[in-house]
Structure 1
Amino acid sequence: MHIAGLGTAHPPIRYTKAECLAAFESSAWFARLDTRAHLIARTVLQRDNGIEARRLAVTSLDEVFTIDPNTLARRFLTNAPALASQAGERALSQAGLRATQIDAVVVSTCTGYLCPGLSGYVAERLGLRCDVQAFDLVGQGCAAALPNLMLGQALLASGACEHVLSICVEVSSAAMYLDNDPGVLISACLFGDGAGAAVLTRQASASGRRIKWTDSTSLVEPSERHALMFEQRDGMLRNILSRAVPGLAADYAQRVLHTVLGRAGLNPGDVGTWIMHAGGRDVLQALEKRLDLQPSDLRYSAAMLREYGNMSSAFVYFVLEAALADGAAPGWWWLSSFGAGFSCHGALLEVQG
């Protein structure tokens, strides 16, 4: 499998963490939450937490604090199809393909629910063929990008498809929930909205950079699902985020890395570019320590986190796009995502040109 084109999309308005804190302090929610909650929010949004800004699908931060099931559902329906399609259009353009050449589309999300699913909205907006194979993947959280790509690989390997469109889209502002729980509050300060897309092909492109997916693996440990998950409460999604997440992410990331590199006869020193889901600053630091990396090795993940926040499943598309735009050296690249489940996935890419 080859990645022939990439595209990303995000809402147009940039909100800094200082603006987010000011909006919270002036909202009705500030009075509803206790003093400890105020301290947590101020600590996260005033210290260096690795994030400077986020893009949110609202025209004013005041809208963020209107938290009810109908408002959040409308926000998802309005923005998820639009962002997903915009990212898909850009990936198709970069790949030099028409929408009618796509044989299958795979769309992942965890921040909202539609039936019929997002794939139908994307097919309609992009003008995909009526016989396109359409798949909607849900419930995989921040880790979803790689299972999405793995399904694309399977479709291509089966011979049933020549071109697959992979899309992850998250409207985290449509999954807003507030209470006095530290994990809930920290989540509200970390996540942003965005979409990423990739055109997957059986054959490498004739020109430009060639990105070959060579091998991948996954680990899923259901006994750790309560460390990071969504639950339904009051008709809305409530994020559960525990202190165990950075350590779990680093442990599982190391295990999938060693499995795939071992099969290829490689070691971590052979990897020249690291395309990692960030999660947050503490997660990046845990990855750096466990994988024996330098801060510069995770510079693309850190840069995307600082500017966009944690965009959940869409995040690694932004990181891969940033590395390509920067002209990162060809060779072995490592792509990895992790999240709810607890799950972790990794893939070895061979980049040429």
Structure 2
Amino acid sequence: MTAVAVPSARIVGVGTAVSSTSYTQTEILETLRIDDSKVRSLFLNSGIGRRHLTLPSACPDGTRAFESQGDLLDKHAALAVDMGTRAVLTGLKDAGADPSDVRQLCCVTSTGFLTPGLSALMIRELGIDRHCSRVDIVGMGCNAGLNALSSVTAWATTHPGELALLVCAEACSAAYTIDGTMRTAVVNSLFGDGAAAIAVVADTTATPHGELPGPCVLKFGSCLITDALDAMRYDWDREQQRFSFFLDPQIPYVVGAHAELVVDRLLEGTGLRRSDIRHWLVHSGGKKVIDAVTVNLGLTRHDVRHTTGVLRDYGNLSSGSFLFSYERLIGEGLVKAGDLGVMMTMGPGSTIETALIQW
């Protein structure tokens, strides 16, 4: 195996958080009084066991209250700040750091729009130095965590020894629409609330407890599938006066068909083959998406065990789901020095993002 030149940006801590209430798929169907057999089948065959959601309050007749776009934006702000803050504190503890050490904060979200951005609200909430560099990446969707990691690692390599934080905070409950359509049911069957944070530092191999250092981020690769530009999108629902997310039923097959191309381009020039990759951290986009990627890349069930496990336990967490898988991988304690990994996220565009990492 050809050695890979190792740049200096290294992931040194990870933390996750979810909202306070969770439901099984059956409980969601009963709570929302969904009787349509096709919709019920969609929920119950999703590969999802439980998700964290903050559903609308109950009306006297047991139905759920209508939420305006303003209500949803308020929900987004409250949940994103709460979950994001808790994920950051856990990630900083894992890195042996605290909020006063943070010199850059990059926040990712697609479940609402805020001005000032989520980064400003979290700096105030956490008491981070007000001179901290900050970036907000809004609306890029499920792939955005790797777009953000590219930005964060670039910043870290130009500021050696300074701590950068990436936070993906997705209040998917704030993008929930209840209208009885199959289009909406597809979206409602998948997503859950969650936030993930990772700490990145350049030019250091130090760890708080002397264990194996976190991985260096070696390289990124992207593919915009322009023929499927409208396959995942937000539309304005004029009847309900709020945004509604659309997922084309063909998107798993589109993503799967391009997965091999993107990974091969990521490895191009490194002397590596797909068989050299020991760890696969793939976005938990949905059962069909995971199956399509697994087949097209020739992966095993073991390779995507954390991807399917996160989907089962949390649903699709949008931009931060691959970091939930990363946290589980680290928690296993089986990673060895020299191990290679590929991170992969997919989202609107349609887009596939990848990163090559090495311990």
Instruction: For 2:70 and 2:217, locate their aligned partners in 1 and report how far apart those are by CA, in whole Å.
Output: 41
| 1:200 matched residue in structure 2 | 200
Q: SS where residue 296 of structure 1 aligns?
A: coil
Instruction: Name the aligned partner's letter for residue 43 of structure 2.
Output: L
How has the CA–CA distance of structure 1 residues 124 and 252 changed in structure 2, closer, same or farther, with 3 Å as cutoff? farther
* 1:204 positional shift: 3.2
1:260 corresponds to which residue? 266
CA distance in 1, matches of 2:146, 2:234: 19
Candidates 199, 209, 214, aligned match of 2:212: 209
| AA matched with 1:109 | T
Partners of 1:65 and 1:177 in 2: CA distance = 11
Corresponding residue number in structure 1 for 2:72: 72
- Deviation string 1:37-91 (CA, Å, 9 cap, x unpaired) is x233211123x32101001134867786533212212211211111111111111
Higher helix share: 1
Structure 2 residue matching 1:106: 3-state secondary structure:
strand
CA distance in structure 1 between the partners assigned to 2:352 and 2:225 by the alignment: 9
Structure 2 counterpart of 1:10, which letter? V
Aligned counterpart, 1:219? 223
Query: Deviations along 1:196-232, whole A, 9 cap, x unmatched?
Result: 0000100233232321111111112344221111122
- Superposition pairs of residues 301-340 of structure 1, within 5 angstroms: 301-330=307-336, 331-340=339-348
Gaps of 5+ in 2: 1-8
- Partner residue, 2:242: 236
Tell me how far apart the structure 1 counterparts of residues 20 and 63 of structure 2 sit (CA, whole Å). Answer: 15
Asked if the contact 2:56/2:64 (under 8 Å) is kept, the reply is no
Q: Is the 8 A contact 2:56 2:66 kept in 1?
A: no
C-alpha deviation, 1:98, in angstroms: 2.3
Do the aligned residues in 2 keep the contact of 1:64 with 1:176 (CA within 8 Å)? Answer: no
* CA shift in 2, pair 1:318/1:91, >3 Å: same
Give the Cα–Cα distance (whole angstroms) in 2 for the partners of residues 335 and 8 of structure 1: 17
Aligned to 1:52: 49
Percent sequence identity over aligned pairs: 26
Q: Secondary structure at the match of 1:111?
A: coil
Deviates more, 1:269-278 or 1:63-72: 63-72
TM-score (norm 1): 0.91
Q: Provide the C-alpha distance between the structure 2 equivalents of 1:18 and 1:186, rounded to a whole number of angstroms.
A: 15
- The question of whether the paired residues in 2 share the 8 Å contact of 1:155 and 1:161 is answered with no
Match of 1:163 in 2: 163
Match of 2:113 in 1: 113
1:278 is displaced (CA, Å) by 1.8
* Selected match of 2:30 from 22, 28, 33: 22
Instruction: Kindly state the Cα deviation for residue 157 of structure 1 after the two structures are TM-superposed.
Output: 2.5
* Aligned 8 A contact 1:103 1:161 in 2: no
Residue 10 in structure 1 maps to residue 18 in structure 2? yes
CA 1:178/1:225 → structure 2, altered by over 3 Å: closer, same or farther? farther
Deviation at 1:262, TM superposition (A): 2.1
Q: CA deviation at 1:280?
A: 0.5
Alpha-carbon distance between aligned partners in 1 of 2:64 and 2:281, rounded to the nearest angstrom: 30
Find the aligned partners of 1:283 and 1:229 in 2 and give their Cα distance.
17
Moved more, 146-155 or 92-101: 92-101
1:23 Cα offset (Å): 1.1
Distance 2:237 2:269 in 1: 44
Q: Is the 8 A contact 1:196 1:318 kept in 2?
A: yes
Specify whether residues 205 and 153 from structure 1 end up closer, same or farther in structure 2 by C-alpha distance, changes over 3 A only: same
Deviation at 1:180, TM superposition (A): 4.8
Name the amino acid aligned to 1:273. H
Aligned residues: 340
CA distance in 1, matches of 2:121, 2:304: 35
Q: Which amino acid aligns with 2:313?
A: E
Native 8 Å contact 2:107 2:136 kept in 1: yes
Counterpart residue number, 1:348: 356
Other structure's SS at 1:295 match: coil
Report whether the alignment pairs 1:153 with 2:145. no
1:239-250 mapped onto 2 (5 Å cutoff): 239-250=245-256
- Over aligned residue pairs, what C-alpha RMSD do you find? 1.9
Q: TM-score, normalised by structure 2?
A: 0.90
